[in-house]
Amino acid sequence: MNFTEEQIIRYSRNIILREVGGEGQRRLLESKVLVIGAGGLGSPILLYLAAAGVGTLGIIDSDVVDLSNLQRQIIHFTPDINIPKVDSAKSKIKQLNPDVNVITYKVRLSSKNIVEIIKDYDFIIDGTDNFPTKFLVNDACVMNNKPFSHAGILRFEGQTFTYTPGNMCYRCIFNEPPPKGVVPTCSEAGILGAVAGVIGTIQAVEALKYILQNGDLLTNKLLTFNALTTQFREIKLNRNENCPVCGKSPTIKELQDYEQPVCELKL
């Protein structure tokens, strides 16, 4: 593709990077990334991917903006309260970068619609805050050979890893959702807003590296972050050959919906 003069200026800091260049920027502009959740994690993810020139961004979120969201969901502003998050996010993205094609899905993700939604995207990012969706995203991506970024945040801590076909998936670490009530929700335990920014930004970097086909992804390792000590820890893990969804003899062959409305596990 030929860049316009405006695009050359807009993406100049990308293009001068040896690891990106014109070819890499072309890949970004032709790529399609789906972000599930336009909240604390999804906000920095969407803003950085849009700024980088990812050509198509899909956004899934069924909620509207609430006053309590604004402490961490930086893509939404006070005038956006009661507006659907997908519409609020799309408005900011288009103001930031008109090049980006934004596709919105104001739906609750389920086993009935996820496969149809993810099929046209190159990379999936899980920016949700509940176990049912995290297991659903993992299983759907594994079954359909879709790479994705996982993340979870709670209080002052966060975690993230990247899945690509043939490597460790979410169920390799967490076999099934915990019993209801065992793990507190974000509204019960709290979350330092900037932690979402740190982890979400790492997820955006992982998506960009995947598209650019450059750098080492967070595959087969879990990266954790503790904001109180400002420490990152990388835990090396292996694919579980007995994993019920990606193992040698998978026992989960159909997508299922779980009901526990709980927040992500804290390590």
Per DSSP, 233 falls in state E
In a domain, 5, yes or no: no
Tell me the three state secondary structure of residue 115: helix
* Number of Cβ within a 10 Å radius of residue 3: 15
Quote the tokens at residue 14.
Answer: 């990308």
Per DSSP, 225 falls in state E
In a domain, 168, yes or no: yes
In a domain, 71, yes or no: yes
Which residue, 170, 164, 175, 162, is CA-closest to 205?
162
In a domain, 30, yes or no: yes
Taking only the tens of pLDDT, the chain with its 267 residues reads 789 999 999 999 999 999 999 999 999 999 999 999 999 999 999 999 999 999 999 999 999 999 999 999 999 999 999 999 999 999 999 999 999 999 999 999 999 999 999 999 999 999 998 999 999 999 999 999 999 999 999 999 999 999 999 999 999 998 887 766 666 666 667 899 999 999 999 999 999 999 999 999 999 999 999 999 999 999 999 999 999 999 999 999 999 998 755 444 333
Angle formed by the axes of helices 21-30 and 193-212, nearest 10°: 110
Q: Which residues of 41-52 are buried (b: 16+ CB within 10 A; e: fewer)?
A: bbbbbbbbbbbb
In a domain, 225, yes or no: yes
Residue 163 belongs to what domain range?
A: 16-236
What letter represents residue 41's amino acid? Answer: L
160, containing H or E segment: strand 157-163
In a domain, 157, yes or no: yes
Please count the structural domains in the chain: 1
In a domain, 185, yes or no: yes
Please name the residue that has the structure tokens 């990152």: 232
CA distance 88 to 71: 16
Q: Give alpha helix (H) positions in the chain.
A: 5-10, 12-15, 21-30, 42-52, 85-96, 114-118, 131-143, 170-173, 186-189, 193-212
* CATH number for the domain harbouring residue 52: 3.40.50.720
In a domain, 254, yes or no: no
Tell me the three state secondary structure of residue 130: coil
